[in-house]
């Protein structure tokens, strides 16, 4: 019992040491909560902070984890929650105001990395049979916590749960190979938790655990076929049990992802090719180095590198052990450089950003090798300096080969890395001197300072240009929250909100990737940017003018009035007026005013028909078709606009004249391929970057008098088709939408996240209740108590044929297979509990 308490104190001390060190680095470098910088960069700034804001609302009962209208047009959100938000650390979000989420983010990063230090210490300590010197155990644990992956990927905070759980999974595998029954439960529980907290890294850890099983079996003494069979069966049972434990989240997630736009596996990328030169791992293991498409960085400090290499020069290891570790070292490098293994550990998806999302497993393998070496080296009465020197010479030799054999990379810190390596090896060699035994404590202290300084300096180098600004975020969030709250107080009805400008938008380009503010500020919109959205919703929005980017973003950075009106967008937040919208007397915020769309339809209205897929129509003609079907008579909201074209120094200008009447102008210039540097000058009043990542296809042209122009400024006119310029007849739009509203006066609606109830009184035959709620298999829809299948507008929006008289329509969303997943989780708990009980009873009987 006393021994257990001592070990617990040691592990807790390592956690606290890592936490203090990480926060000291944040304090010195000016990161939140101490300064104006934040680790929430790139996708964290664009997406995750809004997701955490949403999660705060969910935890406080103000939004739904299963279905939310904050996601595109409304969608099941289970796969988003299980990918981004189920880490237990995210519960802390309730203690932070939305404008302070940068501080929350940085705190959670330090907590996860501190836990990683603790769990790696547990793994290394048990794996070395508690023979590793405490100071070496602490330094190796800190090397895991502050390795390159953890700092460089800190913005992808949801992957860090896999980092701190991986050592426990591998410990479970090791104990299984030692036929220790605790290994079964440890592996099963950690695999279950990994898949619950973040299924992506959970799956990666499952794959790596199998490789680790093979490694441990190869390293084991007195191995036999019988033992291999027993161990393999126990391992398989543990993995199966872990998957069962996670089924409550994992099964519905897998089912949901099957309906999403990026669900298919990309088998075409599994080719027998190499991604780069494996020698590039050497410059990748220098201070401040990062991973790229052809180079992986496994940096976790000089102590790890020297220990991992010194194994092959140590007399304390058998030839078999060196051979096994050498083979697995090569395999671990092939995971990053050989395309088939890269695809396996990328889960057969084209992971084209945040390179080598699984590189933490390679770093842990190096740390494991170092622990094996230092365990025997430090406990040998006559410590030898020879393997250390030979390892250092080998490392320097590889560095020279890499220097001459690889293309020169700017910013590789060979000299600084060499200084730390030299200082470390010098200190280790001094420990081997019998004449300096009385100074060992001071030498060890110096070594700790060297290792701590190296890891801290590497963290500084990685973060010095890797930050977002806290003050700008805080100001924007405060203003936007106030504006949304004022709008909801002004109009508490059911509607969608859109906007033409978001936080972080690039100046003078009118593009953004920030499409999750509906999540962040808890309103209903048209847009979102998530990893696996509904492909059908994206298609419908694209068919009606809002282009899809990267199979996951609906580019909504203007207001296409007929589309917005049909989809129930009642308010638009915009820094500039759009003809047809009416400014609302609410305060401006974040440079945006509130405009009302007077044509907006309710989320459920009566129509005479339902439009099908566009059949090759452009978005303007298809929008006409949507309204034509709804009215059962020809509707021409958009009419082609005549123009003349004039060559300019920068491209081509399309000039037009407006006819008499109440019109606004929209256009599109379809392109065959993107052309960098292309811009649109929209009548001298708006500028728009075009034909590139995140640019729209349909654009609004401000007009103040009877003429105007669209100028395409590009280096490649051949990339573009003939322009689609259209007049929007605002009087016709008003007439049509007014008529639809009038024939829908007898529709009463109550819609919340995941539930809807429409009552249609005195309905006529051959009419439809057209909703702008997207269909998916989770909806259960009943008409007058009978379950029905809807008709779908463009295969997406739910429309229901009405019966004559009174129609009571109820809709309720259920996460598909959630109940089955919960049952399987319960079975997993019962299975593991029963196994534990029977094994315990059996062991007591043997006593």
The residues that bridge with 801 in the sheet, in sequence order, are: 768
Contacts 24+ apart (CB under 8 A), 6-15: 7/125, 10/121, 10/125, 10/134, 10/137, 11/118, 11/121, 11/122, 12/118, 14/117, 14/118, 14/121, 14/137, 14/138, 14/141, 14/142, 15/114, 15/115, 15/117, 15/118
| Domains identified in the chain, total number | 4
How many angstroms separate the first and last alpha carbons of the chain? 21
Nearest to 290 by CA among 89, 435, 452, 458: 458
Q: Are residues 690 and 777 in the same domain?
A: no
Q: Are residues 589 and 681 in the same domain?
A: no
- With cut-offs at 50, 70 and 90, classify the pLDDT of residue 448: very high
Q: Are residues 295 and 339 in the same domain?
A: yes
pLDDT reported for residue 371: 97
Does 78 fall in a domain? no
Does 65 fall in a domain? no
Does 31 fall in a domain? no
pLDDT reported for residue 486: 96
Q: What is the pLDDT of residues 7-18, one digit of tens each?
A: 789 999 999 999
Q: Are residues 411 and 526 in the same domain?
A: no
CA–CA gap between residue 835 and residue 115 (Å, rounded): 29
Count of Cβ atoms closer than 10 Å to residue 762 Cβ: 9
586 by DSSP, 3-state: which?
A: coil
CA–CA gap between residue 795 and residue 775 (Å, rounded): 8
pLDDT reported for residue 505: 66
Query: Among 144-153, 507-516, 722-731, which is the least confidently predicted range?
Result: 507-516
pLDDT reported for residue 502: 87
The residues that bridge with 771 in the sheet, in sequence order, are: 604
The C-alpha torsion from 796 through 637 and 487 to 528, rounded to 10°, is: 40
Q: What is the mean pLDDT of residues 243-264?
A: 79
As a residue count, the chain comes to: 847
- With cut-offs at 50, 70 and 90, classify the pLDDT of residue 333: very high
Does 190 fall in a domain? no
pLDDT reported for residue 256: 78
Quick one: residue 357, left, alpha or beta (phi over 0 = left, psi -120 to 50 = alpha)?
alpha
pLDDT reported for residue 180: 86
Does 295 fall in a domain? yes
Domain carrying residue 814: 736-818
pLDDT reported for residue 433: 83
pTM: predicted TM-score of the whole model, two decimal places:
0.93
What are 317's two structure tokens? Answer: 């290891």
pLDDT reported for residue 577: 93
DSSP assignment letter at 283: G
- With cut-offs at 50, 70 and 90, classify the pLDDT of residue 824: very high
Higher pLDDT, 448 or 507: 448
DSSP assignment letter at 499: E
- With cut-offs at 50, 70 and 90, classify the pLDDT of residue 844: low
- Where is the domain boundary, 579, 601, 623? 601
What are 679's two structure tokens? Answer: 């811009």
What is the DSSP secondary-structure string of 14-41? HHHHHHHHHHHHHHHHTBTTSSSEES--
Q: What is the pLDDT of residues 81-129, one digit of tens each?
A: 999 999 999 999 999 999 999 999 999 999 999 999 999 999 999 999 9
Q: What is the mean pLDDT of residues 438-444?
A: 90
Does 242 fall in a domain? no
Q: Is residue 73 a contact partner of residue 537, using CB atoms and an 8 Å limit?
A: yes
Count of Cβ atoms closer than 10 Å to residue 691 Cβ: 23
Cα angle value 502/506/511 (rounded, 5°): 65
Query: Among 438-442, 600-604, 608-612, which is the least confidently predicted range?
Result: 438-442
- Where is the domain boundary, 580, 601, 622? 601
Q: Are residues 314 and 398 in the same domain?
A: yes
CA–CA gap between residue 116 and residue 127 (Å, rounded): 16
Q: Are strands 569-574 and 496-499 parallel, antiparallel or unpaired?
A: parallel
| Order of strands across the sheet that contains 582-583 | 496-499, 569-574, 593-596, 582-583
Q: Is residue 178 a contact partner of residue 219, using CB atoms and an 8 Å limit?
A: no
pLDDT reported for residue 801: 94
pLDDT reported for residue 266: 63
Q: Are residues 371 and 492 in the same domain?
A: no
CA–CA gap between residue 342 and residue 358 (Å, rounded): 9
Q: Are residues 593 and 490 in the same domain?
A: yes
131: Cβ contacts below 8 Å, ≥ 6 apart: 375, 379
Q: What are phi and psi of 167, to 5 degrees?
A: -60, -35
Q: Are residues 749 and 649 in the same domain?
A: no
Does 321 fall in a domain? yes
Q: Is residue 288 a contact partner of residue 461, using CB atoms and an 8 Å limit?
A: yes
Q: Are residues 556 and 695 in the same domain?
A: no
Does 563 fall in a domain? yes
Count of Cβ atoms closer than 10 Å to residue 735 Cβ: 15
DSSP assignment letter at 506: P
pLDDT reported for residue 845: 59
pLDDT reported for residue 840: 74
Count of Cβ atoms closer than 10 Å to residue 449 Cβ: 12
Taking CA atoms, 195 is separated from 108, 111, 350, 507, in Å, by 19, 20, 21, 40
Q: What is the mean pLDDT of residues 538-565?
A: 93
Nearest to 499 by CA among 602, 592, 582, 565: 592
Q: What is the pLDDT of residues 18-76, one digit of tens each?
A: 999 999 999 999 999 999 999 999 999 999 999 999 999 999 999 999 999 999 999 99
What is the DSSP secondary-structure string of 664-702? EEEEE--BSS--TT-EEEETTTEEEE-SSTT--SEEEE-
pLDDT reported for residue 202: 94
Q: Are residues 423 and 279 in the same domain?
A: yes
The packing angle between helices 302-310 and 359-378, to 10°, is 70
Asked if the peptide bond before residue 33 counts as cis, ω within 30 degrees of 0, the response is yes
- Report CA torsion sign: 245, 250, 255, 256: positive
636 by DSSP, 3-state: which?
A: coil
Please say if the pLDDT value at position 584 is more than 80: yes
Q: What is the pLDDT of residues 753-812, one digit of tens each?
A: 999 999 999 888 889 999 999 999 899 999 999 999 999 999 999 999 999 999 999 999
- Where is the domain boundary, 672, 696, 722? 722
449 by DSSP, 3-state: which?
A: helix
Q: Is residue 219 a contact partner of residue 173, using CB atoms and an 8 Å limit?
A: no
What is the DSSP secondary-structure string of 792-807? EETTTEEEEEPPSEEE
- Percentage of the chain modeled with pLDDT above 70: 96
- With cut-offs at 50, 70 and 90, classify the pLDDT of residue 847: low
Please say if the pLDDT value at position 209 is more than 60: yes
Q: What is the mean pLDDT of residues 816-844?
A: 86
pLDDT reported for residue 663: 94
What are 514's two structure tokens? Answer: 């920030």
What are 706's two structure tokens? Answer: 């009877």
Q: How many C-alpha atoms does 734 have within 13 Å on its Cβ side?
A: 9
Taking CA atoms, 847 is separated from 179, 465, 514, 838, in Å, by 18, 62, 64, 14
Please say if the pLDDT value at position 509 is more than 70: no
- Percentage of the chain modeled with pLDDT above 90: 81
CA–CA gap between residue 640 and residue 655 (Å, rounded): 14
CA–CA gap between residue 528 and residue 77 (Å, rounded): 12
Q: Are residues 497 and 590 in the same domain?
A: yes
Q: Is residue 161 a contact partner of residue 197, using CB atoms and an 8 Å limit?
A: yes
Q: Are residues 561 and 413 in the same domain?
A: no
Query: Among 423-427, 529-533, 773-777, which is the least confidently predicted range?
Result: 529-533
Contacts 24+ apart (CB under 8 A), 409-412: 409/283, 411/288, 412/283, 412/286, 412/289
515: Cβ contacts below 8 Å, ≥ 6 apart: 502, 527, 528, 529, 553, 554, 556
């Amino acid at each position: 019992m006393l021994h257990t308490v001592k070990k617990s104190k040691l592990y807790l001390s390592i956690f606290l040491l890592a936490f203090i060190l990480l926060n000291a680095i944040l304090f010195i470098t000016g990161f939140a909560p101490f300064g104006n910088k934040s680790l929430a960069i790139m996708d964290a700034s664009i997406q995750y902070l809004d997701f955490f804001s949403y999660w705060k609302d969910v935890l406080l009962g103000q939004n739904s984890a299963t279905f939310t209208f904050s996601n595109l047009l409304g969608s099941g959100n289970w796969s988003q929650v299980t990918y981004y938000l189920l880490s237990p650390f995210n519960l802390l979000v309730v203690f932070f105001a939305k404008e302070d989420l940068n501080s929350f983010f940085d705190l959670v990063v330090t907590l996860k990395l501190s836990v990683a230090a603790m769990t790696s210490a547990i793994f290394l300590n048990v794996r070395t049979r508690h023979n590793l010197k405490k100071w070496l155990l602490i330094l190796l644990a800190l090397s895991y916590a502050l390795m390159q992956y953890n700092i460089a990927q800190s913005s992808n905070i949801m992957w860090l749960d896999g980092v701190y759980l991986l050592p426990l999974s591998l410990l479970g595998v090791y104990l299984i190979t030692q036929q220790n029954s605790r290994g079964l439960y440890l592996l099963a529980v950690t695999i279950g938790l990994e898949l619950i907290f973040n299924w992506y890294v959970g799956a990666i850890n499952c794959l790596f655990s199998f490789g680790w099983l093979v490694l441990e079996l190869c390293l084991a003494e007195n191995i036999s076929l019988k033992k291999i069979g027993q161990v393999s069966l126990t391992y398989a049972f543990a993995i199966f049990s872990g998957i069962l434990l996670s089924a409550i989240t994992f099964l519905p997630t897998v089912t949901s992802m099957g309906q999403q736009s990026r669900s298919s596996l990309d088998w075409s990328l599994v080719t027998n090719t190499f991604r780069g030169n494996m020698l590039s791992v050497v410059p990748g293991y220098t201070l401040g180095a990062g991973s790229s498409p052809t180079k992986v960085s496994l940096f976790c400090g000089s102590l790890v590198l020297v220990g991992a290499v010194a194994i092959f020069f140590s007399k304390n290891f058998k030839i078999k052990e060196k051979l096994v570790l050498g083979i697995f070292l090569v395999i671990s490098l092939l995971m990053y450089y050989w395309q088939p293994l890269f695809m396996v550990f990328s889960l057969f998806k084209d992971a084209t950003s945040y390179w080598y999302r699984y590189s933490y497993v390679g770093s842990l393998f190096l740390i494991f090798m170092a622990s094996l070496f230092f365990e025997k080296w430090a406990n040998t009465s006559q410590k030898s300096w020879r393997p250390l020197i030979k390892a250092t010479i080998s490392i320097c030799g590889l560095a020279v080969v890499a220097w001459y054999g690889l293309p020169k990379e700017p910013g590789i810190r060979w000299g600084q890395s060499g200084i730390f390596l030299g200082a470390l090896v010098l200190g280790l060699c001094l420990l081997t001197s019998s004449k300096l035994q009385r100074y060992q404590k001071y030498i060890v202290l110096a070594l700790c300072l060297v290792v701590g300084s190296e890891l801290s300096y590497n963290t500084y180098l990685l973060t010095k240009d890797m930050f977002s600004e806290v003050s700008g975020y805080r100001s924007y969030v405060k203003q936007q929250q106030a504006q949304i709250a004022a709008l909801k107080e002004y109009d508490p009805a059911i509607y969608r909100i859109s906007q033409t400008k978001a936080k972080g938008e690039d100046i003078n380009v009118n593009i953004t990737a920030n499409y999750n503010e509906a999540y962040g500020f808890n309103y209903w919109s048209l847009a979102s940017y998530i990893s696996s959205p509904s492909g059908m919703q994206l298609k419908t929005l694209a068919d009606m003018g809002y282009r899809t980017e990267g199979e996951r973003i609906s580019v909504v950075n203007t207001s296409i009035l007929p589309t917005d009106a049909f989809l129930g967008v009642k308010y638009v937040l915009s820094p500039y007026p759009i003809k047809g919208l009416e400014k609302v007397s609410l305060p401006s915020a974040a440079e945006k005013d509130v405009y009302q769309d007077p044509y907006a339809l309710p989320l459920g209205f009566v129509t005479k028909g339902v439009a099908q897929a566009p059949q090759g129509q452009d978005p303007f003609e298809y929008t006409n078709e949507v309204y034509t079907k709804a009215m059962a008579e020809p509707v021409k909201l958009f009419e082609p606009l005549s123009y003349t074209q004039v060559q300019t120094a920068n491209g081509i200008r399309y000039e037009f004249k407006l006819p008499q009447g109440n019109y606004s102008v929209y256009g599109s210039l379809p392109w065959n391929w993107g052309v960098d540097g292309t811009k649109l000058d929209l009548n001298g009043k708006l500028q728009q970057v075009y034909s590139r990542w995140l640019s729209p296809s349909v654009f609004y042209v401000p007009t103040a008098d009877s003429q105007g122009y669209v100028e395409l400024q590009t280096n490649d006119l051949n990339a573009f088709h003939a322009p689609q310029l259209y007049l929007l007849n605002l009087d016709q739009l008003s007439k049509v939408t007014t008529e639809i509203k009038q024939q829908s006066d007898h529709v009463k609606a109550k819609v919340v996240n995941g539930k809807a109830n429409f009552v249609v009184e005195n309905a006529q035959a051959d009419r439809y209740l057209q909703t702008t709620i997207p269909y998916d298999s989770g909806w259960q829809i009943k008409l007058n108590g009978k379950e029905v299948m809807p008709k779908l507008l463009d295969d997406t929006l739910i429309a229901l044929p009405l019966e004559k008289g009174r129609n009571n329509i109820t809709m309720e969303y259920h996460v598909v297979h959630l109940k089955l997943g919960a049952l399987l989780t319960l079975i997993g708990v019962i299975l593991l509990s029963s196994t534990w009980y029977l094994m315990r009873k059996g062991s007591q009987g043997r006593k």
